[in-house]
Amino acid sequence: MMRWFAFFFFALGLSAMPAMAGVVMSLKTDAVVNAARVKLSDLVDIDAESHQQDEPLIKTMAAVDMGNAPLPGYSLRFSRKEIERIIRASGQVKAIEWRGAEAVKVERLAKVFDSTQLAIAAESYLKQVLGNGQNQVVVETAERLPELLLADGKVDIKARNLSRAEAMHARVTVWLDVTVAGMFSRSVRVPMKVKVMEQTLVAKRDLLKGVTPACEDLLVLEMDIASLDGAALPADCSKLKGSLKRNIPSGTALTQNYLQLSNAISHGDTVNLLFSSGALLLESKALALANGEVGQRIQVRPAAATETIAAIVVAPGVAKVIGN
> For 113-122, what is the mean pLDDT?
94
pLDDT tens digit sequence for 143-158: 999 888 888 889 999 9
Could you say which DSSP state residue 250 is in? T
Q: Could you tell me if 134 and 200 are in contact, meaning their C-beta atoms sit under 8 angstroms apart? A: no
Closest C-alpha to 292, from 322, 323, 314:
314
pTM (2 decimals)? Answer: 0.63
Domains of the chain: 19-109 (2.60.480.10), 113-196 (no CATH), 198-259 (3.90.1210.10), 270-321 (2.30.30.760)
pLDDT tens digit sequence for 56-115: 777 888 889 999 888 888 899 999 999 989 988 888 666 788 899 999 999 988 888 999
**What pLDDT sits at residue 19?**
38
> For 293-317, what is the mean pLDDT?
91
**What pLDDT sits at residue 61?**
81
Measured CA to CA, the distance from residue 33 to residue 40 in angstroms comes to: 11
User: Helix, strand, coil shares of the chain as percentages rounded to 5?
Assistant: 20, 40, 35
The C-alpha R_g of the chain, in whole angstroms, comes to: 38
Which of the pair, 90 or 125, is modelled with greater confidence?
A: 125
| Three-state DSSP class for residue 119 | helix
Band (pLDDT 50/70/90 cuts) for residue 121 is: very high
Measured CA to CA, the distance from residue 209 to residue 248 in angstroms comes to: 8
Q: How many CB atoms lie within 10 A of CB 138?
A: 15
**What pLDDT sits at residue 199?**
94
pLDDT tens digit sequence for 217-247: 999 999 999 999 888 988 998 888 788 989 9
> For 22-40, what is the mean pLDDT?
88
Measured CA to CA, the distance from residue 157 to residue 143 in angstroms comes to: 19
Of 49-53, 255-259, 282-286, give the lowest mean pLDDT range.
49-53
CA 279 to chain centre: 47
Band (pLDDT 50/70/90 cuts) for residue 22 is: low
> For 126-136, what is the mean pLDDT?
94
